[in-house]
Structure 1
Amino acid sequence: MLYQPVEASFFRKPTLELARALLGMLLVKETPTGIASGWIVETEAYIGPGDRAAHSFGHRRTPRTEVMFGPPGYAYTYAMHTHCLVNVVSGEAGCPEAVLIRAVEPSVGVESMLERRGKDKKLKELTNGPGKLTKAMGITMADYGTLLCEQPLYIAEGRAAGTIAAGPRIGIENSGEAKAYPWRFWVEGNPFVSR
């Protein structure tokens, strides 16, 4: 194993705190073609039942959201349009909350990422969005429910994040007052932040 996954206790933080703590950490996916990893540079927090932008708003419990009702530290993947997006389940069991990983800075496996995303892509465009990073890294719907401190998909120790900025989340225009919550966090000045 190239990296050491974090302990399960890493995920036991309030959701907004976890969204910040994930910045600078390594997201790692082991695939048959090798390891792909990237430093997390952008996240968004979704605080379940009271957050109109969350899939679990109002305690909505469906087969899709089921993993969010369990303990923290599991992968919540879902399809949006043609993309798979990956979230880290947060909050206590029964409190369905999650942190979307919006962007990573590639670390290992760049050649494989280019194979998956297209050789014509600029490095900066490889993983600067939630659907781009999953495709580049080989993260799929099959990763739903994966414990993120075990192979093949996990979070590992990374590097200091630097200056962290916060602002409204992206792409949730129809979520009432929730669209203004400053629950998107990113590493200031990092070129891989989505926008």
Structure 2
Amino acid sequence: MSQYQLLETAFYQQPTLQLAKELLGCTLVKISTEGTTAGYIVETEAYRGPHDRAAHSYNNRRTKRTEIMFKEAGHVYTYVMHTHCLVNVVSGEVEQPEVVLIRAVEPCEGVELMVERRGAMALKNLTSGPGKLTKAMGITMEDYGRRFDESPLFIAKGVAPEEISVGPRIGIANSGEAKDYPWRFWITDNSFVSR
């Protein structure tokens, strides 16, 4: 872990759209009994809570699943969609349930372990989607409620991208006008961005 410099709690306390951009280039790290996996964050999506029809917390919906979204920024929000676990960074103020979904990472440590977990495939397909990266990195529902400024699942400093692209979020067709919000951010021309 010493090679990684954890981002401090204050990093997460910036506005959600800004955080979604600032996370690009940072390193997502998961330490497990099998080994350490890590990847540079190359794609994110912002979800702005109560007023965002695509957010789980739209209209301040508060359930057992969304409860962590109402806590301090920097918490881990994992949930299962179809059969995939997805990982989010809680953002916004306390009681202001907003998150940033980590959509894709570029592997930088533990690639063999990632391949073992996902099966043989082209490297660019290993972590190029929110369900792919959690499976490859061993991120599960057990990580729900943890903090990203503590081991075993944390975000560390990385390299700021030269150029960031912006567009609408993916897979939220039934969310009215929210489906068109330009709240997806990715490192321009990075080959690990989701398809």
Alignment of 1:1-195 (within 5 A): 1=1, 2-118=3-119, 120-195=120-195
Alignment length, in residue pairs? 194
Q: What SS is found at the alignment partner of 2:147? A: coil
TM-score normalised over the length of structure 2 = 0.98
Q: CA RMSD in A?
A: 0.6
**1:4 Cα deviation after fit:** 2.1
Rounded to whole Å, the distance in 1 between the matches of 2:73 and 2:22 is 14
Rounded to whole Å, the distance in 1 between the matches of 2:60 and 2:147 is 22
Rounded to whole Å, the distance in 2 between the matches of 1:160 and 1:112 is 26
Letter matched to residue 78 of structure 2: T
Rounded to whole Å, the distance in 1 between the matches of 2:151 and 2:88 is 16
Runs of 4+ aligned structure 1 residues displaced above 6 Å come to none
Rounded to whole Å, the distance in 2 between the matches of 1:28 and 1:172 is 27
Q: What SS is found at the alignment partner of 1:145? A: coil
Q: Give ranges in structure 1 of 5+ residues lacking alignment.
A: none
Letter matched to residue 192 of structure 1: F
Rounded to whole Å, the distance in 2 between the matches of 1:81 and 1:64 is 15
Letter matched to residue 23 of structure 2: L
Q: Give ranges in structure 2 of 5+ residues lacking alignment.
A: none
Residue identity over aligned pairs, in percent, reads: 65
**1:126 Cα deviation after fit:** 0.3
Rounded to whole Å, the distance in 2 between the matches of 1:137 and 1:129 is 12
